[in-house]
Amino acid sequence: MTEITAPKSAVTAEQFADEIREQLKYTQGVTVEQAKPADVYVAASAAVRRHLMDSWFKTQSDMVNGNTKAVGYLSAEFLMGKQLRNALLNAGLTEQFDAAVKELGFSVQDVVDAEHEPGLGNGGLGRLAACFIDSLASLGVPAFGYGIQYKYGIFEQKFDENGKQIETPDYWLTNEEPWGHIDYNRDQKVSFGGEVVEEDGKKVWKPAWSVRAVPVDYMVPGYASGRVNTLRLWTAKSYDEFDLLTFNKSEYLDAVKPQVEAENISKILYPEDSTPQGKALRLEQQYFFVSASIHDAIRVFYPGQDKPDLTTFADKITFQLNDTHPVIGIPELMRVLMDEYGYDWDTAWTVTNKTFNYTCHTLLPEALEVWPSKLIGELLPRHLEIIEKIQDQFAAELKAKGVDEATIKDMAIYTGDSVRMAYLATYGGSHVNGVAELHSQLLKDVTLKNFSDVYPDKFTNVTNGVTPRRFVKLANPRLSDLITEGLGTDKWVSDLELLKGLEPLAADDEFVKKFAAVKQANKVDFSNYAKREYGFDIDPNTMINTMVKRLHEYKRQALKILAVIARYADIKSGRIAADDVMPRTIVFGAKAAPGYYLAKQTIQLINNVARVINNDPDVKGKLNVYFPWNYNVRLAQHLIPAADLDEQISQAGKEASGTGNMKFALNGAMTVGTLDGANVEIRERVGAENFFLFGMTVDEVDALYAEGYDPKKYYEADPRLKAAIDMVADGTFSNGDKTVYEDLVHDWLTKDWFMTLADFGAYTAIQSEIEALYAQPLEWNRKALINVANSGYFSSDRSMEDYLERIWMTGPLK
């Protein structure tokens, strides 16, 4: 007997179909006969939302009336993915939906496809925030996600006829969006500019302009917890309806100008990843959502109180700063407590310090945000004063602790010219965490070493995780069924460590064969999907080898594409007989920041390598490269279950954690990777013999930098590497035009900051090991299954439990 614990609503398919009909008729004003799949999608979404409504109310009232501290997850990005399937799963309405849609005469796939993914994040950081709020709801922990409802999310990527990336705006809100509920009556005023004056011995900020922050609420339903939390995304509206006087003079554009300017604040998500952009509008965005969220939390937790006792604020809510983007919240809470509620500095500092915690997501020094003081002074003059005072207090504290002058200077939050947000966050909050063991160690040893010397107790680690609901249960129904069969229960969906129970089954050849059949069926599915969506002809009987993530030099897509080119050259030159080649299909997915030149060149190169190889009869069926455009959560959910081998090949010490690596291991792909980020922990858990490790370690990388790295040496020493780079340089992938990849080649040969060339030998060497194993399907699948069985730790539920225990000191509602 298999134990089934998945939520299942008592609503029947017939009832659900009636609810959809009702919604169509009375809210949307269309009959079932007139309805298009997009109408049914909207109606079904509204119907599910109604089913979640009582739990949502109850969670909110229990949160405010109970004694459980809530979590406020402050994040500039939430990369949610599509909502409908996830909401149906958690509401226990999946089967009823499928049946109801068919009964109404529609195809389930058409209706589900009508949902447009909200692209409110760049990549891993935003997806992490989405996984975390899913897990908090599933654990029954009261929580808010706080962020921005960007009108334009991450750009939609296309490729032109030369294989170059084109960015087009993502008009995700042009059609009806049934999930976000705009609440004009819970708005907040957020002010900017102006000056600070003294009145009766008190500092008073006289801002120059204000915008209206209006919340858009998204339900965040927990799985089998009966809880529904809130993702509150702020949108900016103008207070100035248009200026009638100007309008009467028929200067229409001038009349609406203040409106347009105010609303610019929530207009676009900056398409940057791993590098901050020092734009005034970006600082405005950060302050906008953080200020609105702090005021919102006061409204929620002290309802109707004119003089709330905010000394208890840190007992009501703890704010997690997802990277430095929301760090302006620290001086903001100080200001609110002092200027709006009359607390003295020390009281305000104690509350602020207790309220905030900071997650650092990088080690790349260029990615730590630093704002010019001038800009902060112009936009937020009172905050700059507070930051200066924090700096004075900080310097005095360090001096009292016996820190020398030079170090105090090195550690300055405020240097006079600029404000270092990571330092402000570290000093201003209670805890700082890295996102994988290795990363947290490097934060303490390198990036924030001075801080960890003085405040060792602040530092901790929480290894990232991913939600098993979206990335296993929804994305991979076949594997989910097999896991449930193997374990005799579906409880693993909310207790992923139970996957460990699959380990003995790795010795059972029959079970391993079932596991292999699941992978094969998923590959056929993906091949069909790729045909339908992209027109690709992917052979599901070849190894599917993936590399999907943002395009960045440190992630080293260049290493992969150079190895592909070398392989191509091997076959072309006859170094390897075509018949001896194990057939492989390589699938890339990646967006590059629009201003990131080398990343965009790499995209162009991959596309053109794909074009040349896929059209060359000499390698037909042996080596194929595909690059589906616009990598997003939807594509991730389709691709990951079909992967045989996944690439996690960043330069050691550069990927803070990675979460793609976790998704692939959980879906039964083998990983080829470096000792970086969470790869280290994945390998520890699944066993060294079940992970393809290669490449330099952090120490070896450091030693090579110290010695003076010369990429040319590696180029000269390895004829296969040389041949690959020469093919890029000689126009093989640019119709003979030698100029197209000039800059990329020049960078490889003269700089190669992330040591792609140095790791090339080790990377290509391990490929023969990989192919030898893949030639024994039973052994390959046994190892892949062992990966699944030992990856339960990488659930974001476990990450949340670690945060709750080490940082937030709170737990589920009673």
Distance, CA of 191 to CA of 210 (rounded, Å): 4
Phi, psi torsion values for 616, nearest 5 degrees: -100, 110
Q: Which of 658, 662, 676 is nearest to 759 (CA)?
A: 676
Token pair 């057939």 is found at 583
User: Which listed residue (439, 600, 663, 685) is catalytic?
Assistant: 663
Token pair in block for residue 294:
């702090």
Distance, CA of 324 to CA of 274 (rounded, Å): 12
Q: Which of 76, 676, 597 is nearest to 362 (CA)?
A: 676
Distance, CA of 275 to CA of 91 (rounded, Å): 39
Q: How are beta strands 317-322 and 70-74 bridged, if at all?
A: parallel
* Residue 470 binding ligand PLP, by CB under 6 A: no
Longest dimension (CA), the chain: 88
* Residue 475 binding ligand PLP, by CB under 6 A: no
The answer to whether 285 touches 208, Cβ cutoff 8 Å, is no
* Residue 632 binding ligand PLP, by CB under 6 A: yes
Binding piece for ligand PLP, criterion CB under 6 A, among 119-127, 290-298, 709-717, 805-813? 119-127
* Residue 633 binding ligand PLP, by CB under 6 A: yes
Give the count of residues interacting with ligand PLP (CB under 6 A): 13
Which CB atom, from 420 or from 663, has the smaller least distance to ligand PLP?
Answer: 663
**Per-residue string for binding with ligand PLP, 653-682, x by CB under 6 A?**
-----xxx--x-------------------
User: Which listed residue (116, 232, 549, 783) is catalytic?
Assistant: 549
Which CB atom, from 63 or from 636, has the smaller least distance to ligand PLP?
Answer: 636
Active site residue 85: no
Q: How far is the CB of 600 from ligand PLP (least distance, A)?
A: 18
Q: How far is the CB of 362 from ligand PLP (least distance, A)?
A: 12
Give the DSSP letter string of 274-342: SS----HHHHHHHHHHHHHHHHHHHHHHSTT-SS--GGGHHHHEEEEEESSTTTTHHHHHHHIIIIIT-
**Per-residue string for binding with ligand PLP, 497-536, x by CB under 6 A?**
----------------------------------------
The answer to whether 39 touches 19, Cβ cutoff 8 Å, is no
User: Which listed residue (519, 555, 622, 654) is catalytic?
Assistant: 555
Token pair in block for residue 430:
């209670």
Number of residue whose CB is nearest ligand PLP = 660
Active site residue 739: no
Residues in the chain: 814
Token pair in block for residue 763:
């990377």
Chain-centroid distance, C-alpha 91: 25
Distance, CA of 124 to CA of 389 (rounded, Å): 35
Distance, CA of 498 to CA of 744 (rounded, Å): 47
3-state secondary structure of 535: coil
Distance, CA of 271 to CA of 632 (rounded, Å): 13
3-state secondary structure of 220: strand
Q: How far is the CB of 579 from ligand PLP (least distance, A)?
A: 34
Which CB atom, from 434 or from 660, has the smaller least distance to ligand PLP?
Answer: 660
Q: What is the 3-state secondary structure (H, E, C) of 759-785?
A: HHHHHHHHHHHHHHHHCCHHHHHHHHH
Q: How far is the CB of 729 from ligand PLP (least distance, A)?
A: 29
Which CB atom, from 550 or from 654, has the smaller least distance to ligand PLP?
Answer: 550
* Residue 799 binding ligand PLP, by CB under 6 A: no
Q: How far is the CB of 588 from ligand PLP (least distance, A)?
A: 12
Which CB atom, from 594 or from 777, has the smaller least distance to ligand PLP?
Answer: 594
Which CB atom, from 40 or from 154, has the smaller least distance to ligand PLP?
Answer: 154
Binding piece for ligand PLP, criterion CB under 6 A, among 123-131, 443-451, 519-527, 692-700? 123-131
Distance, CA of 123 to CA of 469 (rounded, Å): 19
Binder of ligand PLP out of 325, 431, 514, 549 (CB under 6 A): 549
Q: How far is the CB of 631 from ligand PLP (least distance, A)?
A: 6
Binding piece for ligand PLP, criterion CB under 6 A, among 396-404, 503-511, 630-638, 787-795? 630-638
The answer to whether 85 touches 112, Cβ cutoff 8 Å, is yes
Distance, CA of 626 to CA of 619 (rounded, Å): 14
Active site residue 361: yes
Q: How far is the CB of 756 from ligand PLP (least distance, A)?
A: 17
Task: Give the Cβ contact number of residue 474 at 10 Å.
Answer: 19
Q: How far is the CB of 787 from ligand PLP (least distance, A)?
A: 16
Which CB atom, from 377 or from 677, has the smaller least distance to ligand PLP?
Answer: 677
Which CB atom, from 21 or from 663, has the smaller least distance to ligand PLP?
Answer: 663
3-state secondary structure of 235: strand
3-state secondary structure of 385: helix
Which CB atom, from 492 or from 631, has the smaller least distance to ligand PLP?
Answer: 631
User: Which listed residue (69, 116, 232, 361) is catalytic?
Assistant: 361
Which CB atom, from 428 or from 673, has the smaller least distance to ligand PLP?
Answer: 673
Q: How far is the CB of 302 from ligand PLP (least distance, A)?
A: 37
Which CB atom, from 68 or from 661, has the smaller least distance to ligand PLP?
Answer: 661
Binding piece for ligand PLP, criterion CB under 6 A, among 163-171, 260-268, 625-633, 718-726? 625-633
Q: Which of 397, 467, 376 is nearest to 90 (CA)?
A: 467
Active site residue 257: no
User: Which listed residue (318, 484, 659, 732) is catalytic?
Assistant: 659
Active site residue 399: no
* Residue 123 binding ligand PLP, by CB under 6 A: yes
Binding piece for ligand PLP, criterion CB under 6 A, among 48-56, 332-340, 626-634, 804-812? 626-634
* Residue 331 binding ligand PLP, by CB under 6 A: no
The answer to whether 379 touches 368, Cβ cutoff 8 Å, is no
Instruction: Show the CA angle centred on residue 270, arms to residues 265 and 274, nearest 5°.
Output: 140
409-438 residues in contact with ligand PLP (CB under 6 A) are none
Q: Which of 623, 627, 676, 628 is nearest to 649 (CA)?
A: 676
Active site residue 712: no
Binder of ligand PLP out of 376, 432, 636, 670 (CB under 6 A): 636
154-183 residues in contact with ligand PLP (CB under 6 A) are none
Q: How far is the CB of 80 from ligand PLP (least distance, A)?
A: 11
Which CB atom, from 429 or from 695, has the smaller least distance to ligand PLP?
Answer: 695
User: Which listed residue (151, 325, 458, 550) is catalytic?
Assistant: 550
Q: How far is the CB of 390 from ligand PLP (least distance, A)?
A: 33
Give the DSSP letter string of 72-99: EEE-S-------HHHHHHHHT-HHHHHH
Distance, CA of 643 to CA of 788 (rounded, Å): 13
Q: How far is the CB of 550 from ligand PLP (least distance, A)?
A: 6
Token pair in block for residue 651:
């330069």
Q: How far is the CB of 123 from ligand PLP (least distance, A)?
A: 4
The answer to whether 313 touches 355, Cβ cutoff 8 Å, is yes
Token pair in block for residue 748:
């490889």
Which CB atom, from 128 or from 141, has the smaller least distance to ligand PLP?
Answer: 128
* Residue 124 binding ligand PLP, by CB under 6 A: yes
Residue 135 to residues 70, 82, 91, 628: CA-CA distances in angstroms? 14, 16, 15, 30
Binding site for ligand PLP (CB under 6 A): 123-124, 127, 549-550, 631-633, 636, 658-660, 663
Q: What residues are labeled active site? A: 361, 549-550, 555, 659, 663
